[in-house]
Amino acid sequence: MVANLVGYIVGPSGIKVLISKMAGKEALPALAFIFTTFYMGQLMFHCEASREVMELEFMNSVLTHM
């Protein structure tokens, strides 16, 4: 959805300019921040999923020992 919005607003020629600017050295801190943010988001989803699995396993063990 975001890619469609960027493509619609910026256009094909604007996307080429955007990519060329993001390939330069001055864009490295921004790219590092973006990748770090995405990684942290993925890590948060993984932790939440594992917490839910642990809660379900705990509830199953409690119910089987009753």
pLDDT of residue 1: 57
**Section 16-21 average pLDDT:** 79
DSSP 27-56: GHHHHHHHHHHHHHHHHHHHHHHHHHHHHH
User: Full-prediction pTM beyond 0.75?
Assistant: no
pLDDT of residue 6: 67
Where residue 27 falls among pLDDT bands split at 50, 70, 90? confident
Structure confidence by residue, pLDDT tens digits, 43-55:
898 888 898 888 8
- Domain map (residue ranges) of the chain: 2-64
- Pairwise CA distance, residues 34 & 16, whole Å: 19
